[in-house]
């Protein structure tokens, strides 16, 4: 089944120095843009992270410090990357919890402030886990009946993710699930519906430090103020804002916190 698109969608996969979205960096990215007319466009590149790659990460993707030593930095390519994904929705495998938050951090560090709030995010892993509970290689074998060669090579994983989503649409287009006593078909050929189904939480920021409550009000999702409206906490505890801004929180979380403090309306 081909994707029913209102906007172009970019499937992405990142290889990184580690798994900390605040402190680790991108060393390789692969983007596969699917245009509304079905045309495909690829963009992949290795990046000098300007820091050491962890041994644990090297064991996964086999990219060493020497491999990226002479590559451009993310800051040098940030505007090209931003142009490639401009106006596009984003999709990946575990992308909502890792790739997209880390990509957003890299953009902010590079001084390129792109608005992520208007995009839709489809996490193929979440759809997979909610429906089958497996890994990408198993998903590819299960849905596409093929073995995933070159696993953890960015473009191989990216293209496999695209193929898995199309196969998921074929398999689940009439499959109903039950939630809160109601039956519905969650996997539809519609990016908005896929985006909603592939999210576990109603996050305001990518890291889930701030989420929407049942009244669509941003509330803190951690610590002593968990469940309390952000605006209420900032009014009662003026120093809390400064503590978070100066703390080890993702840059995007700090950006969202500042927007709420300044009274900007948060768009879901």
Residue 252 has pLDDT above 70, yes or no: yes
Q: Summarize the confidence of residues 29-36 as an average pLDDT.
A: 97
pLDDT in the model for residue 251? 94
Q: Which of 14-23, 163-172, 190-199, 243-252 shows the lowest per-residue confidence on average (mean pLDDT)?
A: 190-199
What pLDDT sits at residue 266? Answer: 56
- Among 141-155, 171-185, 242-256, the range with the most confident prediction by mean pLDDT is 242-256
Q: Using H for helix, E for strand and C for coil, what is the string for the chain? A: CCCCCCCCEEEEEEEECCCCCCCCCEEEEEEEEECCCCCEEEEEEECECCCCCCHHHHHHHCCCHHHHCCCCEHHHHHHHHHHHHCCCEEEECCHHHHHHHHHHHHHHHCCCCCCCCCCCEEEHHHHHHHHCCCCHHHHHHHHHCCCCCCCCCHHHHHHHHHHHHHHHHHHHCCCCEEECCEEECCCCCCHHHHHHHCCCCCECCCCCCEEECCCCCEEECCHHHCCCEHHHHHHHCHHHHHHHHHCCCCHHHHHHHHHHHCCCCCCC
The pLDDT, as a whole number, for residue 165 is 94
Which among 266, 263, 249 is positioned nearest to 208, based on CA atoms?
Answer: 249
Instruction: Give percent of the chain above pLDDT 90.
Output: 71
Between residues 64 and 149, which one has the greater pLDDT? 64
* pLDDT value of position 268: 46
pLDDT digits over 69-119, tens only? Answer: 999 999 999 999 999 999 999 999 999 999 999 999 999 999 998 888 789
Beta-sheet pairing, 26-34 with 9-16: antiparallel
Report the side by side order of strands in the sheet with 40-46: 40-46, 26-34, 9-16, 89-92, 121-123
Compute the average pLDDT of residues 35-59. 96
Q: What pLDDT, on the 0 to 100 scale, is given for residue 265?
A: 55
Output the pTM of the full model: 0.70
pLDDT in tens, 192-249: 989 888 876 789 998 899 999 989 999 999 999 999 999 999 999 989 999 999 999 9
Whether the pLDDT of residue 150 is over 90: the answer is: no
């Amino acid at each position: 089944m081909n994707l029913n698109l209102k906007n172009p969608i970019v499937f992405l996969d990142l290889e990184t120095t580690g798994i900390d979205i605040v402190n680790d960096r991108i060393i390789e990215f692969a983007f596969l843009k699917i245009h509304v007319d079905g045309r495909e466009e690829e963009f992949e590149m290795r990046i000098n992270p300007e820091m050491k790659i962890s041994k644990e990460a090297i064991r996964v993707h086999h990219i060493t410090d020497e491999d990226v030593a002479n590559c451009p930095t993310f800051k040098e390519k940030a505007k090209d990357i931003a142009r490639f994904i401009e106006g596009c929705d984003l999709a990946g495998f575990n992308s909502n919890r890792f790739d997209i938050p880390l990509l957003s951090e890299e953009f902010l560090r590079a001084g390129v402030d792109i608005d992520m709030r208007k995009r839709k995010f489809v996490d193929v892993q979440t759809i997979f886990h909610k429906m089958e509970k497996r890994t990408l290689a198993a998903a590819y074998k299960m849905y596409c009946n093929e073995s995933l060669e070159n696993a953890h090579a960015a473009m191989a994983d990216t293209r496999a993710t695209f193929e898995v989503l199309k196969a998921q649409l074929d398999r689940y287009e009439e499959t109903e699930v039950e939630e809160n006593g109601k039956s519905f078909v969650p996997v539809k050929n519609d990016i908005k519906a896929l985006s909603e189904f592939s999210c576990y939480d109603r996050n305001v920021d990518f890291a889930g430090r701030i989420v929407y409550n049942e009244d669509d009000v941003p509330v803190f999702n951690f610590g002593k103020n968990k469940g309390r409206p952000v605006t209420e906490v900032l009014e009662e505890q003026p120093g809390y804002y400064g503590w978070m801004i100066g703390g080890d929180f993702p840059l995007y979380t700090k950006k969202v916190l500042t927007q709420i403090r300044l009274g900007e309306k948060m768009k879901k």
